[in-house]
């Protein structure tokens, strides 16, 4: 159970709580205005704020550590994410009021792609929010739970990591399907600037009895968590590197990979 589960989870995982998707929550604390400002301005924020943090990291390491801490604390209050495996992502779309497919703002910032429609907005009304931005509005598409479930499966096969995102925590407003063009991934994993998302509530584990050492799972891991030993002809998952997204299971022909509950595994307390 992560920090958010303790605070907002009511004894369950925080993203399984119906109240965290509710309209009442969305209507409170100026959330709609916040979303309206955040999404169209995210590219500028990335270019300026993350860029400045990156330069600070090299030039003034001590000041950087302080800013990193404050930054993560602020992000936890406003816009934080958590990786979820496919099964959990499918449960989540059933809890939401509405599902809208929209173009990914990260891929726009990272690759200049205008119409990479990889994000699912939950419960919020993007047509209203993007009203002033015809470019974003034109490609919105409302999905049913079945369509969204199918789409998530397709993204999973493509090798994209699912994650839930809050807009002023604990309101959950979207599921992202990301690879390394994601700004959160780039800031947290590639550049290691600050923490912007939690790992999943799970850790993958390879059953050495079933593993044939084919290494096909290694290609799918976005976090470089799978290691191979030629002496034993087996693959191993590094539990401290694993984000628990569960993508590695897709290609395993012997079904040797399962997701274990992160909670209670020795040595993983506080590894998020």
Partner 1 sequence: MRMPVVKIDHSRCVDSRECGKCLGICPVLTTYPEGPPFKEGVGWRISPTFVSLCTGCGECARLCPESAISVDE
Q: According to CB under 8 A, which residues from 128 to 147 bind partner 1?
A: 132-136
Q: Does 51 bind partner 1 (CB under 8 A)?
A: yes
Asked if 68 touches partner 1 (CB under 8 A), the answer is: no
- Tell me which residue of 17, 11, 43 sits closest to 95, measured CA to CA: 17
- Quick one: how far is CA 230 from the chain centroid? 33
| Contact range with partner 1 by CB under 8 A, out of 28-36, 39-47, 91-99, 151-159 | 39-47
Of 118 and 202, CB closest to partner 1:
118
50 lies in the site for partner 1, by CB under 8 A? yes
CA–CA distance from 97 to each of 57, 143, 157 (Å)? 41, 11, 26
For residue 180, state whether it binds partner 1 (rule: CB under 8 A): yes
Which of residues 171 and 185 has its CB atom nearest to partner 1 in the complex?
Answer: 185
Alpha-carbon distance 99 to 97, whole Å?
Answer: 7
**Nearest-5° angle of CA 20, CA 26, CA 31?**
120
Q: Which of 6, 37, 16 lies closest to 172 in space, CA to CA?
A: 16
Q: How far is CA 22 from CA 26, 83, 93, 207, 259, in A?
A: 7, 21, 13, 40, 29
Which CB, 7 or 180, lies closer to partner 1? Answer: 180
CB 140 within 8 A of CB 4: no
x-or-dash pattern for partner 1, window 192-211, by CB under 8 A? -x------------------
259 belongs to the binding site for partner 1 (CB under 8 A): no
Question: Is residue 241 close enough to count as binding partner 1 by CB under 8 A?
Answer: no
Residue 161 as a binder of partner 1 (CB under 8 A): the answer is: no
Q: Provide the binding-site residues for partner 1, judged by CB under 8 A.
A: 40-41, 43-44, 46-48, 50-51, 54-55, 57-58, 108-114, 132-136, 180, 183, 186, 190-191, 193
């Amino acid at each position: 159970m992560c920090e958010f589960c303790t605070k907002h989870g009511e004894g369950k995982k925080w993203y399984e709580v119906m109240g965290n998707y509710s309209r009442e929550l969305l209507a409170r604390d100026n959330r709609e205005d916040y979303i309206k400002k955040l999404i169209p301005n995210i590219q500028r924020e990335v270019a300026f704020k993350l860029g400045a943090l990156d330069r600070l990291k090299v030039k003034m390491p001590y000041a950087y550590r302080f800013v990193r801490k404050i930054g993560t604390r602020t992000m936890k209050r406003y816009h934080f994410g958590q990786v979820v495996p496919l099964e959990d992502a499918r449960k989540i779309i059933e809890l939401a009021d509405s599902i809208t497919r929209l173009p990914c703002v990260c891929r726009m910032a990272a690759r200049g792609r205008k119409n990479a429609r990889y994000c699912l907005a939950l419960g919020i009304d993007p047509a209203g929010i993007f009203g002033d931005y015809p470019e974003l509005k034109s490609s919105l598409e409302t999905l049913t739970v079945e369509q969204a479930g199918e789409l998530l499966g397709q993204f999973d096969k493509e090798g994209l990591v699912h994650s839930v995102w809050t807009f002023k925590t604990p309101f959950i407003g979207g599921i992202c399907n990301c690879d390394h063009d994601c700004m959160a991934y780039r800031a947290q994993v590639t550049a290691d600037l600050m923490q912007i998302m939690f790992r999943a509530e799970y850790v993958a584990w390879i059953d050495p009895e079933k593993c044939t050492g084919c290494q096909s799972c290694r290609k799918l891991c976005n976090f470089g968590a799978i290691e191979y030993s030629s002496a034993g002809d087996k693959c191993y998952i590094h539990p401290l590197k694993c984000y628990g997204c569960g993508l590695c299971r897709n290609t395993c022909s012997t079904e040797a990979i399962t997701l274990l509950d992160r909670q209670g595994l020795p040595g993983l307390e506080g590894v998020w």
